[in-house]
Amino acid sequence: MHCDPRFSGVREVFERHFSDGEELGGALAVYLDGELVVDLWGGVADRHTGRPWQEDTPAFVYSCTKAVTATVLLQLAERGQVDVTAPVADVWPEFAAEGKAAITVEQVLTHQSGLPVIEEPVPVEEFEDHAAIAARLAAQAPLWEPGKAHGYHALTYGFLLGEVIRRVTGKTVGDLVAAEIARPLGLELWVGAPDTVIARTARLQAGERAQPGQAPAPTEAVPVEPPGGRARDVLAEMTRAAQDPQSLMNRAIGNPGMHLLKGGANHPVILRAGWPAAGAVATARGLAGFYRALIAGELLPSGALREAVRPRVTGPDRVLLLDTSFGLGFMRPSLTFFVPSETAFGHTGMGGFIGLGDPERGLAVGYVMNRMAAALSGNLRGIRLVEAVYRAL
């Protein structure tokens, strides 16, 4: 393990989470101006066997995947293979059905397409057949007028963008991540893990929830009195939505249903499937290294990255109900992406995983763990760690 003396306060927070019994197993990596200044890990990777968390222990990082998938698509756009302003149907003609001919790739990247839910239950046998799942979405009508509102496309984001990428390249997101990002940069990052990686992946312990497939709260750290006096109404709406099986929130995260497999996200089918919205397996160092490469211009030109992280939508989210903010696939600071810097961007993963970059400060952070919070986005441990990193600057 390694921690630059400037970041000793970060190490103190990391170790306190274990000594206070808040953390089971986890890791944190921080790059500053390209230098790995924090590389910490500890605890157990599997509470059933007592297997310790090692330097190379990866975890299933849920929606942190979305930023990786967005980067793959933006790389294709830089090469002229995809036009983000063009209709999805230009490369996927079947998608034009049910009034979707004008939906653009940008509207999918920014959660504005109106397709946050797969209406028909996806059978377990189809979990690794991305094209079949995408065909279900192609046959649906949007739930709102595309471009007029945004709502978090928890799983459909990946199947939609993944099919655009497949139509253009003939390859999966996982194939391109391996060939264009992970292998060239030596990153411990997979969208669809091989068996050798699955064998050492941390076993997740899910946050408490009422029943399998039911949504946790959108965030573990909602302010009691946010500006505008909406606090109690929003909190009540979120609670109702989390408890209602038919809410957009539950329908968005529950199909395909990971809970249908024993162990949920720990099941090899899920770890292997490589869903482009929630299918990445990564170490903290791999996740932070991805953002280090992004802000260094190694994955996208600096101008393209600035355009990609420019906020496109900000405000009430029809699925999460809280205010959210997105660039082209990247989260921007909001109630679901707690970062003490307006120049930061990245993505969280359900339960509290965090990946972020801050080009103005030369900062890249990756946090992974296995004791998930009962929250769709953010946990207090991760927030404390990120705040400690910024204090050290």
* Class of the CATH-defined domain 57-378: alpha beta
Q: Which of 266, 287, 249, 213 is nearest to 64 (CA)?
A: 287
Residue 207 has pLDDT above 70, yes or no: no
Q: DSSP assignment of 56-70, as one string?
A: T--EE-GGGHHHHHH
Mean pLDDT within 361-368: 98
Element (DSSP H or E) covering residue 28: strand 25-32
What span, in angstroms and rounded, lies between the C-alpha atoms of 299 and 317?
29
- Per cent of the chain over pLDDT 70 is 93
> How is residue 147 annotated by DSSP?
T
Are the beta carbons of 238 and 375 closer than 8 angstroms?
no
Lowest average pLDDT, out of 127-131, 224-228, 255-259, goes to: 224-228
What span, in angstroms and rounded, lies between the C-alpha atoms of 263 and 23?
20
pLDDT for res 217: 64
For residue 264, the one-letter residue type is G
What span, in angstroms and rounded, lies between the C-alpha atoms of 28 and 382?
9
Residue 106 has pLDDT above 50, yes or no: yes
* Class of residue 280 by CB neighbours under 10 A (exposed 0-12, middle 13-18, buried 19+): buried
> If pLDDT is split at 50, 70 and 90, which confidence band does 139 have?
very high
Buried b (16+ CB within 10 A) or exposed e, 358-390: bbebbbbbbbbbbbbbbbbbbbbbbbbbbbbbb
Per DSSP bridges, beta strands 189-191 and 59-60 are unpaired
Mean pLDDT within 220-236: 55
pLDDT for res 220: 64
Looking at every residue in the chain, the average pLDDT score rounds to 93
Q: What is the pTM of this model?
A: 0.94
Query: Angle, to 10 degrees, between the axis of helix 380-392 and the axis of helix 8-19?
Result: 160
pLDDT top residue among 339 and 244: 339
Buried b (16+ CB within 10 A) or exposed e, 105-123: bbbbbbbbbbbbbbeeebe
Q: Which residues are catalytic?
A: 63
pLDDT top residue among 205 and 226: 205
> How is residue 132 annotated by DSSP?
H
Mean pLDDT within 307-321: 96
Domain ranges of the chain: 57-378
> If pLDDT is split at 50, 70 and 90, which confidence band does 55 have?
very high
Residue 224 has pLDDT above 50, yes or no: no
Mean pLDDT within 204-211: 66
> How is residue 319 annotated by DSSP?
T
Residue 201 has pLDDT above 60, yes or no: yes
* Class of residue 156 by CB neighbours under 10 A (exposed 0-12, middle 13-18, buried 19+): buried
For the chain, what is the radius of gyration of the CA atoms? 19
For 133, half-sphere exposure in the C-beta direction (CA atoms, 13 angstrom radius) is: 30
Residue 208 has pLDDT above 60, yes or no: no
pLDDT top residue among 199 and 241: 199
For residue 202, the one-letter residue type is A
